[in-house]
Structure 1
Amino acid sequence: MKAAQVRAKIDVLTETVIAAPCERVAAYAADPAHAPQWYANITSADWRTPPPVGVGSRVAFVARFLGRTLAYTYEVTAYEPGRRMVMRTQEGPFPMETTYTWEPYGDAADHTRMTLRNRGEPSGIASLGATVMAAAMRRAQQKDLAALKALLEG
């Protein structure tokens, strides 16, 4: 008899409001080349397909997370410039989906509400630490959005 595979779901959603127009925030955040500048844990981002970003674009990332070096490749599966981008891992430690959304915020639409959502299903031994991983992801995402806000408002 086969042992049942343990699966735990991770779903972390964070948001911020940035004092910059939606088009500017989205253009900067959606460009994978900028990721190491505002994601604290990402050390590199290398295009696997020619830029610019669009559906089908693939980018390899290297990150440090919870004391480990992780290498993974994302593919953009949905892209609405200035509104939404969805990426899914094609290679990496476990399946993950990252979604960015951007929307004008405030009366003058000179601010942007940005959300960052990471969802995944670690399996095997990684699933045992899913609760700890989700909490660490939430803290990291909050820091990343704060860094993005500082970069674009500075």
Structure 2
Amino acid sequence: MVLIIPEFPNTTIDPFVITSPQTSSYNCIAWAFGDNTKWYWPDPDEMYFWPENIPRTIEVNSFIELYKLKGYEVCISTSLEIGNEKIAIFLGNDGLPTHAARQLENGLWTSKLGCEYDIQHSIYSMNNSVYGNASVFMSRSL
């Protein structure tokens, strides 16, 4: 099933494809990390899961450190590289992290939309949206 959402204007040209039922068990940060059992967020009130050894600050460096735990390193290219898996961290207009996506073997990306669905999408369809833009890319060898 395809999904066109007004908050994601590029979906009128390049729609999202729903790949799972709705659930509030996890969020996009956890989904990109490979965990569908908890909600990850570095909130200072400690309402959500966040690794103890990473600063609980909503800054891009905290998110980079999170994904480094899984072997990701910052890279430049969004292109598919056989044998590698990539993460995209989205930043809002204020420069703060809002979303994360993981690249699939077909070169498309997978994301979790809040408490809603997991989706498959291009970077283009997600950019210039309520999540801002994919701004930091990370890669790891599989």
| Higher fraction of helix | 1
Q: TM-score, normalised by structure 1?
A: 0.30
Task: Please identify which structure carries the higher strand content.
Answer: 1
Compute the TM-score of the two structures, normalised by the length of structure 2. Answer: 0.31
